[in-house]
Amino acid sequence: MKSWVIISFLLLGLKVTAQHDTTHPARKWIVGGTNAALWGGSTVLLNEIWYKDYPRSSFHTFNDASNWRYMDKLGHGYTAYQLANVEYAAWRWAGMKPKSATWLAGGIGWGYLMTVEILDGFSEEWGFSWADVTANTGGSGLFVAQQLIWNEQRFQLKFGYKHSPYAALRPTILGSTASERLLKDYNAQSYWLAVSPGLFFKETSFPKWIQLAVGYSADKMLKGDADAYMINGFTYHAQSEYALSLDIDWAQLPIKRPWLKKLVKPLNSLKIPFPSVFWRGGVCYVGMM
């Protein structure tokens, strides 16, 4: 999930909200210029901070579909989905009509991640991954389909994070600092699909801001392409973990102040900690996630 290095700040920092169809040529130039600058600049920066220290090769593909027990692929889908959200809000702020903004937002998010894949394809360490492209397409497609059908996001992808003890065992792979662990330690990450049942019924007393969330994470992963890894004489066996929880659709909260509503809406990209029911290795338990 190398794209997190460059674009994670976008998810909370650049999201704007607008519901106007009035054309704003100046705003379109601002959004277009910002996109071009961020796309080009972040590609150069990503090359410098990530690929520069690894040997280059001719363009090639590789199959990493099941690496890290699919956590990396969920990260790709989540990133594509959130990028589409940010782009849509920006182009709507610029006055673009909803349908046009939807297709453009999905395309830009998908295209940016394709740039990352091409860089991977010329790196000896990695390679162009069709599994990554599939995940990127799924994330962008989830956003585009919902906007075209409902003109809102009823099913939302969210990111969760909890402390993991495993990064200390392999800090070069899973991260030695807090910021590195956030990006690299898949044991600490979780991905959620959250839905507000109340949005499907016009007449209901069920609050539209309450969401049901289904989550996926993995535990004891010390090596991406192996489910078992021995270190210090002990073998760690990776396990998948599934969860059921509640969450909040911040966009649906009955907030009267427009500025405050815009301020909290980007929080929809994150899963708030809440008591959850987990299932892992045939064992069901309750915890916080």
**91-145: pLDDT as tens digits:** 999 999 999 999 999 999 999 999 999 999 999 988 999 999 999 999 999 999 9
- pLDDT at 19 (0 to 100): 47
- pLDDT at 20 (0 to 100): 52
Q: Are strands 210-219 and 189-195 parallel, antiparallel or unpaired?
A: antiparallel
Residues in the chain with pLDDT values less than 70: 1-22
- Copy the structure tokens of residue 228: 């078992």
Quickly count: other Cβ atoms within 10 Å of residue 50's Cβ: 19
Give the list of residues 6+ apart from residue 152 with CB closer than 8 angstroms, or none.
Answer: 146, 199
Q: What is the DSSP letter of 49?
A: I
- pLDDT at 51 (0 to 100): 84
- pLDDT at 14 (0 to 100): 47
Q: Are strands 239-248 and 275-280 parallel, antiparallel or unpaired?
A: antiparallel
- pLDDT at 49 (0 to 100): 73
- pLDDT at 44 (0 to 100): 87
- Copy the structure tokens of residue 100: 């046009």
Distance from C-alpha of 154 to C-alpha of 33, rounded to nearest angstrom: 30
